[in-house]
Amino acid sequence: MSLERALYTAMVRMRMIEEKIAAIYPEREIRSPTHLYIGQEAVAAGVCAALGRQDVVAANYRSHGWYLAKGGSLQAMMDELFGRATGCSGGWGGSMHLIDVEAGVMGTSAIVAGGVSHAVGSALADKMLGRSQVSVAVFGDGAVEEGPWHESLNFAVLKRLPVIFLCENNLWAAFSPIKDRQPPVEIHRRAEAYGIPGVVVDGNDALAVHRAAATAVHRARRGEGPTLIECRTYRWLEHCGPNDDVPQGFRAAEELAAWKDRCPIERMRQFVTDEEDRAIRVAVTREIEQALAHARSAPWPQPTWKPAYYEV
Amino acid sequence: MKFREAIRAATVEVMRKDARVFVTGIGVPDVKGIFGTTLGLAEEFGAERAFDIPLSESAITGICLGATFRGLRPIFVHQRIDFTMLTMDQLVNHAAKWRAMFHGAHPVPLVIRAIVGRGWGNGPQHTQSHHGIFAHVPGLKVVVPATPHDAKGLLIAAVEDDDPVIYVDHRWLHEEEGEVPEGYYEVPIGKAAVVRPGSDVTVAAVGPFVGEALKAAAALADQGVAVEVVDIRTLRPLDGETILASVKRTGRLVVADADWGPCGVAAEVIALAAEHALGALKAPPVRVTWPDSPVPSSQAIEPQFYPGARQIHAAALYTLSRNAGGGLIRSSVKPFEGPF
């Protein structure tokens, strides 16, 4: 399969899975705060296509896309969203805490910047063990404002670790615009202070993301240290939940419309024929239906704690 | 062997046995070697396995945690436990949660070794104990050794453990001498120890207060009171079985905890006794803990801040409705000499 078709397929799969999650969310079968990735698919698709299975991604609470793009099991994720014992976190984590050790999804954090240092630690271990894997810290623009983000960069550069700092700048932290949170210094330029390459790419262009990621991966594998990549993108839905949040009045309808015009999937549509597109969508639909059917009938987890002594 | 030498011996043992173990922290490879506890590690095991770090406690905690994902077994040392307050997000929100949150997808063998810096006027931000804060959190284990023997055995057990362990060592125990076996041995996490049997009063003590309790017990023996001293050793998971068995034997309980009282380990132990051994109690239990105040620096009042054998002695007699009469024994803690 060509790179273009692979990226297109990965993005359509993410989009269709999340659209289904959004559609069924009001049915209350999924009872876990769900931060949808719709609109940002090119970033996870482009980066993960540049990684091997043994490479590692540490991401955040908006990670369905990352988990799927990195090769995490859809069934285990769907079971997790449904709170089932067969979920990737056994029903203990929910949507915000996805893990697939085999696929190199090292777990996702619900604390902003919480997982950045984990990727650095993974890279430190790989370097100490003489392995050639690469670790990717995935975070949003808000994480750049957290102290441990800077601490993590400082250490990773100091030790020349094989780690990529991958920022998904979607311009909003929940309801707060970036202009109210950061001085007007572009995020990728923070890399200059640490003496490493900092690049900015159109985060809605999967091929551009892939090129930047591949360069950073190559650099990391050669032992040349970290790269900071800023991907400019935009989330289409509310910070958390299945709805459009434009009616809430904090961001402009025109802003969202402009970003929808730059849909990452539409931009790659030219690389597949109508027939191929249909085939991709039929296959994903079948995959989703199977995953949902299984999740709905999967067993519930049991408490692992002991009952209180006065209940026994 | 001295307490601090036992810590170093344990570290050498685990690093020799398991190449996945590394030790890091501010000052680990420097000439002072964390009060001597990390001296020579870089020389024997290489700069990759015993290394200094930037002053970035929070990220380094996350980095150590991330390294466990790849199979390593880090020991992160803090010269003051006060500095771990910078790392609470990684310890409480992440390390403590990973095994549950990811349903045991991988082990999390992280050891945080943190030193309590009582003495020489170290004041409000360099002397705190904080073990009660960590003991509050499910997913963490918390150990506080009281003897050189346990300092070695508990550190080895902490490194062997697949859960995150907070290992608290008190600097004012560092010069204590005691029997320490050669070689590799574990003191089990989750097990208290009856270190002096007695039938009249149980004194359950934490860390440096174990020695104080033994001094009080010796003085009380001269007054015809048989004190049973329990070294709690592990604060989480607490060994309720050993503590309650002792309380049921003696019917009287004093808890001596080198930390603040409210919502702390002493309160927890007394709650256990109230819930499960109330019928055996012949008198209300008593807590001997730090005053409800930050620790002062001045040499005029710092020594007055810390309770010790004298207070434990008085508390034990109180449970027997007897008055200590004042001034029978003095606390004999060897003061720490500066500058740090």
Across chain A, which distance is largest between two alpha carbons, in Å?
A: 66
Nearest CB partner across the interface for A125, out of B58, B72, B276: B72
CB B70 within 8 A of CB A129: yes
Show residues of chain B in contact with A136, CB under 8 Å. none
- Cβ pair A120:B63 closer than 8 A: yes
pLDDT confidence band for B323 (50 / 70 / 90): confident
Q: Which domains does chain A have, with CATH numbers?
A: 3-296 (3.40.50.970)
pLDDT recorded at residue A218: 98
Q: Quick one: average pLDDT of B76-80?
A: 98
What tens digit of pLDDT does each residue of B175-205 get? 999 999 999 999 999 999 999 999 999 999 9
List, as one string, the DSSP characters of B259-310: EESTTSHHHHHHHHHHHHSGGG-SS--EEEEE-SSPPP--TTTHHHH---HH
Q: Is the pLDDT of residue B327 over 60?
A: no
Question: pLDDT tens digit string along B215-262?
Answer: 999 999 999 999 999 999 999 999 999 999 999 999 999 999 999 999
Closest CA to B252 of B215, B214, B278, B224: B278
CA angle, B301 then B305 then B306, to 5°: 135
What is the crossing angle of helices A206-221 and A41-48, to 10°? 40
Whether B70 has a pLDDT exceeding 80, the answer reads yes
Question: What percentage of chain A reaches a pLDDT higher than 70?
Answer: 100
Interchain proximity A114–B61, CB inside 8 Å: no
Output the pLDDT for position B330.
60
User: What pLDDT is stored for residue A1 in this prediction?
Assistant: 86
pLDDT band of B337, cuts 50, 70, 90: confident
Buried residues in A91-125 as b, exposed as e (16+ CB within 10 A): bbbbbbbbbbeebbbbbbbbbbbbbbbbbbbbbbb
Of chain B, the percentage scoring pLDDT greater than 70 comes to 96
The pLDDT of residue A144 is above 70 = yes
Reported as a single tens digit per residue, the pLDDT across A93-135 is 999 999 999 999 999 999 999 999 999 999 999 999 999 999 9
User: How many angstroms separate the Cα of B164 from the Cα of each of A76, B91, B100?
Assistant: 26, 8, 12
Residue A95 to residue A34: CA distance in whole angstroms? 6
Sign of CA dihedral B199, B317, B293, B127: negative
Count how many pairs of residues, chain A against chain B, have C-beta atoms within 8 Å: 129
Domain boundaries, chain B: 3-173, 193-319
Interface membership of B271 toward A (CB under 8 Å): no
Nearest by CB to B67, from A107, A124, A148: name it: A124
B66 CB within 8 Å of a chain A CB = yes
Mean pLDDT of all residues in A179-203 = 97
With the C-alpha atoms ordered B220, B221, B224, B226, is the resulting torsion angle positive or negative?
positive
Please say if the pLDDT value at position B310 is more than 80: yes
Q: Binning pLDDT at 50, 70 and 90, where does residue B335 land? A: low
Q: What is the DSSP letter of B94?
A: I
Per CB-CB distance under 8 Å, the chain A contacts of B93 are 109, 111, 114
pLDDT surpasses 80 at B329: no
**Whether B276 is catalytic:** no
For residue A106, the surrounding DSSP H or E stretch is strand A105-109
What is the model's pLDDT at position B106?
95
Kindly name the residue from B78, B94, B103, B126 that is annotated as catalytic: B126
> In this model, does residue B331 exceed pLDDT 70?
no
Q: How far apart are CA A290 and CA A221, in angstroms?
A: 38
Residue B325 — very low, low, confident or very high, per pLDDT cuts 50/70/90?
low
* % of chain B with per-residue pLDDT over 90: 93
Burial class (CB in 10 A: 0-12, 13-18, 19+), A312: exposed
What does each C-alpha distance from A301 to A29, A79, A183 come to in angstroms? 15, 11, 46
Q: What is the pLDDT of residue B297?
A: 94
Closest to B169 in 3D by CA, of B145, B189, B152: B145
Calpha distance A123→A116 (Å, rounded): 11
Of 3.20.190.10, 3.40.30.10, 3.40.50.920, 3.30.300.30, the CATH number of B193-319 is 3.40.50.920
> What is the interface pTM, i.e. ipTM, of the complex?
0.96
Pairwise CB contact (< 8 Å): A121 & B48: no
State which CATH number among 3.90.650.10, 3.40.50.970, 3.40.50.300, 3.10.20.600 fits the domain covering B3-173: 3.40.50.970
Q: Is residue B326's pLDDT more than 60?
A: no
Judged against a pLDDT cut of 70, whether residue B328 lies above it is answered with no
DSSP structure class, residue B92? I
Considering the entire predicted model, what is its pTM? 0.96
pLDDT tens figures, B30-51: 999 999 999 999 999 999 999 9
Averaged confidence pLDDT in chain A: 97
Could you give the strand order of the β-sheet that contains B141-143, starting from the edge strand earlier in sequence?
A: B50-51, B21-24, B73-78, B111-116, B165-170, B141-143, B234-236
d(CA A239, CA A306): 36
pLDDT tens profile B90-121: 999 999 999 999 999 999 999 999 999 998 89
Q: How far apart are CA A289 and CA A19, in angstroms?
A: 13
Nearest to A40 by CA among A209, A175, A234, A177: A234
pLDDT score at B339: 72
Question: What is residue B114's predicted lDDT score, i.e. its pLDDT?
Answer: 98
User: Which stretch of A188-202, B64-78, B317-331 has the lowest confidence by average pLDDT?
Assistant: B317-331
Question: Which pair of tokens denotes residue A141?
Answer: 């623009």
Residue A229: Cβ within 10 Å count: 27
Which of A255, A248, A197 has its CA nearest to residue A225?
A197
For residue range A204-215, list pLDDT tens digits in order: 999 999 999 999
Q: Give the span between the Cα atoms of B192 and B204, in whole angstroms.
A: 9
3-class DSSP state for residue A229? strand
Helix B57-69 and helix A116-128, axial crossing angle in degrees, nearest 10: 60
Nearest residue in chain A measured CA to CA from B69: A122
Of A90, A121, A128, the CB nearest to B65: A121
